[in-house]
Amino acid sequence: MPLYAAYGSNMDPAQMKDRAPHSPVAGSGWLMDWRLTFGGENLGWEGALATIVESPGSQVFTVLYDVSPEDQPQLDRWEGSELGIHKKLKMRIQTLDGPVLAWLYVLDAYEGGLPSARYLGVIADAAEAAGAPADYVEELRNRPCDSLGP
């Protein structure tokens, strides 16, 4: 099965169990030389959405899932691929067992804008549920956000 690397709210295994019930957790790792950021605040959700951009020396925590063929179309719909909101990229994720190839959803919009406090909290909670290092979770919780959003 193809590996999917989640870096946003899909890091939460419970959420992914609802969205892709036939796609088990396959581990975790780091996307090297990329950073987590936000963009596309004009797309109509509550502020900017999570995405990644190249950034030498940075890294993004990811959770890997073995995505079944029956779950992949449903996951694409959840991520708005059919609407052109996200594109899929294949990248190497560093794991304790060495690098693996996985695909990620990347926002097809310009970087910029602030996520809502609620959305940022969902991502931080997902990272914590997935076993991300405490300092990574803390950095997420302390990121700038729109505290006046929904």
Catalytic residues, by residue number, are: 79
Is the Cβ–Cβ distance between 12 and 126 less than 8 Å?
A: yes
3-139 — its CATH code?
Answer: 3.10.490.10
Q: What is the pTM of this model?
A: 0.92
Report d(CA 93, CA 80) in Å as an integer. 23
CA dihedral 127, 134, 57, 90 (to 10 degrees): -20
Report d(CA 92, CA 103) in Å as an integer. 9
Say what the pLDDT of residue 25 is. Answer: 96
DSSP element (H, E) containing 89: strand 86-95
Binding residues for substrate, as ranges, are 4-9, 119
Token pair of 93, please?
């994720």
Is the Cβ–Cβ distance between 23 and 63 less than 8 Å?
A: no
pLDDT per residue as tens, the chain (150 positions): 689 999 999 999 999 999 999 999 999 999 999 999 999 887 766 889 999 999 999 999 999 999 999 999 999 888 877 777 888 999 999 999 999 999 999 998 889 999 999 999 999 999 999 999 999 999 999 999 987 654
Question: What's 109's DSSP letter?
Answer: S
